[in-house]
Structures are given as C-alpha cells and as structure tokens.
Amino acid sequence: MDIKKGVIAVLIISIISISGNLSWRIFSGPTTLRLSSSSPLLLIIDDSLEQNARDDQRVRDILLLSEKIFASNTKLGGYAFVASEWQNISVEENPLVLELENNGYIEMALKDPQPDKYYSYRSDGYTYELRAVLENKNSGKCEVLEDQCFYTVKKEMISPPVEDNSLDSTEYDGGLF
C-alpha cells in the first residue's frame, strides 16, 4: 500500500510541476501551443524564436542586396535608378530588381519571410538605402520609428550617377533604366 501512495504522490507532484510550467510559459510571453505531428505531445514554441529567425533572414537579405547593388555600381561604372521615396523591391517589376536580374546579380526579387511585408529601397543617385522592418524591437539591430523597427543599410556610390539615364521613380514607365 505504501508503494502505491508513493507512486501516486510522485505522479501528482509531476502533474502539478508540468501544469505550472505550462501556465508560466503561456502567460509569460508570446508562445504558441502546437500538436506534434510525430507524437501525441503538445509542443510549446516560443514565438520570439521564430521572430528572431525571420529577423535574421531579413538582415541577411538586406546585406546581400546591398552587396549586389554595390557590385552593380562598380561593374557598370555608375548608378542610374533614383528613387526619392521608399520603393518596394520585393516585386519583380521594380526597375532596380530588373536591373540586378538582367545583369546576373540576383535570380529574382528577395521576399520578406512574411507575405504582408517587403524590403524597401531609395536613392538620391549618390547614396542608396535598403531597409526591412524587423519584428523584435528589442534586438538592438534596428531603429524604432513610429512604432516600427527599421533595419537600414546605407552606402555611398563609388561613382556619380549617369545623368542622361537617370530615372526618377515618379517617371517610371515600366522600362529598364
């Protein structure tokens, strides 16, 4: 009889411990409860881990795009696409994306890990900026403006823009620059 009471006591303590840990994890921050497809266990996934992974992908994408734009400027001897307002560069029709694709720098537009977000670009012809909106405002990787966390890369062009080829984003007619 004493062994049964001991086993029951251990089970009760285990259940209380597990449920206390579960409730602490659920109510202490962003978490998601999911059923595992490989086992009947309930998985607790910290959403901040997924946010950080998406933010890391955004930073890698922006740095890669920056390298490609800089290389394009070096090879072509100038830079022609001027956009005074932030432009969505996660779409194939964007002149910058087309230029990078046509010259073999990228295969296609880089897309944000979340479908409702995109990468942005602007340039005055002498410098360019790329940016992404990060989810984790406390990462230290971004500047918080208007309740959004912007990761920005800004570079100066090696050579001045090609004057006769310059295309202002307000005059974009769908052609290459």
pLDDT in tens, 89-147: 998 888 888 888 888 888 989 999 998 999 999 988 778 899 999 998 887 888 988 88
Pairwise CA distance, residues 112 & 91, whole Å = 11
Pairwise CA distance, residues 82 & 167, whole Å = 6
Q: What local confidence, expressed as pLDDT, does residue 174 receive?
A: 39
Q: What local confidence, expressed as pLDDT, does residue 11 receive?
A: 73
Q: What local confidence, expressed as pLDDT, does residue 138 receive?
A: 83
Q: Per residue in 18-54, pLDDT tens?
A: 665 554 444 444 455 554 455 455 555 567 889 999 9
User: What is the separation of C-alpha 14 from the centre of its chain, rounded to a whole number of angstroms?
Assistant: 40
Q: What local confidence, expressed as pLDDT, does residue 55 receive?
A: 94
Q: What local confidence, expressed as pLDDT, does residue 155 receive?
A: 87
pTM of the predicted model as reported, rounded to 2 decimal places: 0.63
Q: Per residue in 61-91, pLDDT tens?
A: 999 999 988 888 777 665 557 888 999 999 8
**Is 82 within 8 Å of 123 (Cβ atoms)?**
yes
Residue 9 in this model has a pLDDT that exceeds 90 = no
- If one compares 30 and 1, the residue with the highest pLDDT of the two is 1
* Domains in the chain: boundaries: 2-35, 48-171
Q: What local confidence, expressed as pLDDT, does residue 56 receive?
A: 95
